[in-house]
Amino acid sequence: MAITYTSGEQVEVYRFSIPATTLIPLTAVFLQAWLPLRFPFFTIFDLPLLVTIGFATARRSPLAGLLTGSVIGILQDALTHHPIGLYGISKTVVGFGASSLGIKLDVEHAGARFLLTIVFYAVHEVVYFMISRGLVGLRMAWTWPHELLSGVANALLGVLVFMLLDRVKQRT
Amino acid sequence: MDVLGRYRNLIVLVGVLFAQVLGLAVQVRRTTDSEPTRLIRIWAVGAVTPLEKVLVWVQTSTGGVWHNYFYLRGVRAENRNLKQQIERMSLEQVRMSQDADQARRLQALLAFKEQFISRTMAAQVIGSSGSELSRSVYIDKGESDGIKPDMAVITAEGIVGKVLRVYRSTSQVLLIDDQTSGVGAILDKTRLQGILRGTPAGEMVLEKVMSDEAVPAGEMVLTSGGDGIFPKGLLVGRVTKVAPGNELFLNIRVRPAADLSKLEEVLVVTRIDERQAQPDQAGAARAVDILAERLPTVPSKPENAVKADTPGAVAPSNTSSDAKPKAVSPEASAGGGAPAARKTASSPSSSSGSASGTSLGTSAGTSSGNAATATGTPAMKVSPKPVKAAETPKPQPAVEDSPH
């Protein structure tokens, strides 16, 4: 398992072109809305979250990470019927955390990415759970088996998504 | 300045989070249903739904070409089965139309108001919210098609949800299994009323049914009409599990009749009419007459049979006796038990009305059935006296009544 602590000089910082920055999150949100109609099990995945983590860890800039997370989250919120901000806040936190961690850790390997995705999936769910219960008053059911299964499934898909993102990221 | 530079990222994070929490608080304080659609939602829906529409169109087009022109295996057998089904349903329809006629007359006596679906619009489901916790879908009809918030959305199997937000060419439909939805429901046999709500896990629970009531599993759940959105009598689902719940109420789990996870096409109820039976109809039909229809009647003799009774006359008894059972048989086999004489007297108008009513009823619930049967009102004025009808003993109309 290759999670190694690295100094700021050792890690590489990447950037994404404007079309990739715009289209990839949009595509993720679109697929998240469209695929569950054809494959109902797809609702356990959170593609926008995976893209948020992918962008954040590649850019390694907390500012860029939190802004990307908030924009993707708000976009995702806009398609639901819940108040806007539930996904926005959760993904802002995840974007900030992933990029902050990306500075300190080498997350280029599949194993590291797998673990990182599980951790940030859990963070995302906890923040979402707390906000939706505490601020919005939604009834939420926290079921450990479901959350664990979703975490692993998202982590597996995350490894694939990060590999796709590797193809479009550019070295600064 | 140094401190600001050092904690710049953290400050921005707190600022962004604070702004979003503030936005959330403002939204929660307002009632979400009454507020106008936010610009950000319009942008997001405008960015995502056009592509969804294109994909759905491509999918249905290619699927249509495949299913309609290439993949026709089993169509002949299916056609044969469907014909048999139509025959069975036609017989049942005769019985149901009589029941509907009777119910309508009784309703008229009680000055009963009935709701029925008078107009629907077919729509294609193009997308979902993409979240497990927000059970809603998007359809390809919007404001430009006359869709408005709070319209009921149904399928042939059962109800689906209600229109929540309307955009220019799309609409968001809140499904009945969402935790924020509520449907007025009634149990079919026990006639117990409750409120059907979704759970966070995507199940449906019938609330507010007292724990001392007996509710059997498998009982049908229908709309009660009390929510002002769904007309009364539409199928919602079936009871799957009954358990003691919190406080004084039962915990009744309901499985939706429509498959909410695989929606493709739905009907938006764009118009619901409420109609009261005409008072003159109520005056014409007395309760005793209606009950008399249910009693077994002695078939009167046809003219030629009467002639045969007279001495010296040659009675063509074979033809007349043959004709009589033919007239009676469709109704008798359908189990209605109503005299054939009434059927022959009121056949043309009532048959057309009730036939269409039953066929609608199967697709859109009993309310539409009521609507269509109401069109057969002229038949009401025919007094259901067997003697009067026996003056014209024509066996054919009864056969023509069956809507083949």
The pLDDT tens digits of the residues spanning B341-369 come to: 333 333 333 333 333 333 333 333 333 33
Q: So what's the pLDDT on residue B115?
A: 67
Within 8 A of B199 by CB-CB distance, chain A residues are: 139, 141
Angle between helices A86-104 and B8-29 (to 10 degrees): 170
Q: So what's the pLDDT on residue B217?
A: 87
Domains in chain B, start-ordered, CATH in brackets? 114-276 (2.40.10.340), 277-401 (no CATH)
Distance CA B288, CA B298 (A): 18
DSSP B256-285: ESS-TTS--EEEEEEEEEEEE--HHHHHHS
Please compute Rg for chain A using Cα positions.
15
Distance CA A37, CA A45 (A): 13
Distance CA B154, CA B227 (A): 15
User: Which residues of chain B have a pLDDT value below 50?
Assistant: 279-280, 282-283, 305-404
CA B338, B341, B342 angle in degrees (round to 5)?
A: 65
**B238 three-class SS:** strand
* Beta-sheet strands, E only, within chain A: 14-15, 170-171
* Residue A132 touches chain B, beta carbons under 8 Å: yes
Q: So what's the pLDDT on residue B331?
A: 39
Question: Among all chains, which residue has been given the structure tokens 């005409």?
Answer: B278
pLDDT in tens, A78-123: 999 999 999 999 999 999 999 998 888 878 888 999 999 999 999 9
Q: Is the pLDDT assigned to residue A47 strictly greater than 90?
A: yes
**B61 three-class SS:** helix
Torsion-angle region of residue B206: left (phi > 0), alpha (psi -120 to 50) or beta? beta
Q: So what's the pLDDT on residue B347?
A: 39
* Residue A163 touches chain B, beta carbons under 8 Å: no
**B361 three-class SS:** helix
- Kind and range of the H or E element at B127? strand B113-128
Question: Among all chains, which residue has been given the structure tokens 């993720």?
Answer: A28
CA A167, B50, A85 angle in degrees (round to 5)?
A: 75
Buried b (16+ CB within 10 A) or exposed e, B35-55: eeeeeebeebbeebbebbbeb
Q: So what's the pLDDT on residue B35?
A: 61
Question: Among all chains, which residue has been given the structure tokens 């009950």?
Answer: B291
Q: So what's the pLDDT on residue A125?
A: 95
Distance CA A36, CA B167 (A): 22
Mutate to test the interface with A, among B129, B177, B207 (most CBs of A within 10 A): B129
Q: So what's the pLDDT on residue B123?
A: 93
A62–B13 C-beta distance less than 8 A: yes
Q: Is the pLDDT assigned to residue A30 strictly greater than 90?
A: yes
- Kind and range of the H or E element at B326? helix B317-334
* Pair B101, B373: CB distance under 8 Å: yes
B136–A81 C-beta distance less than 8 A: yes
* Residue B41 touches chain A, beta carbons under 8 Å: yes
Tokens for A2?
Answer: 């290759």
How much of chain A, in percent, has pLDDT values that exceed 70?
Answer: 94
* Pair B204, B221: CB distance under 8 Å: no
Distance CA B198, CA B207 (A): 10
Q: So what's the pLDDT on residue B355?
A: 34
Identify the band that residue A152 occupies on the pLDDT scale cut at 50, 70 and 90: very high
Bridge partners (DSSP) of residue B113 are B276
In this structure, chain A runs to a length of 172
Q: How far is A113 from chain B (nearest CA, A)?
A: 24
Q: So what's the pLDDT on residue A171?
A: 78
Distance CA B130, CA B138 (A): 11
* Pair A48, A32: CB distance under 8 Å: yes
Q: So what's the pLDDT on residue A11?
A: 64
Q: So what's the pLDDT on residue B209?
A: 87
Burial label for B188, CB within 10 Å (0-12, 13-18, 19+), is middle
Residues 308-367 (B) with a CB less than 8 A from some CB of A: none
Domains in chain A, start-ordered, CATH in brackets? 14-33+40-171 (1.10.1760)
Distance CA A157, CA A121 (A): 12
* Residue A137 touches chain B, beta carbons under 8 Å: yes
Q: What is the amino acid identity at position A85?
A: G
Q: How far is A88 from chain B (nearest CA, A)?
A: 7
**CA nearest neighbour of B367 among B161, B223, B193, B185:** B223
Mutate to test the interface with A, among B17, B52, B179 (most CBs of A within 10 A): B17
Read off the pTM: 0.69
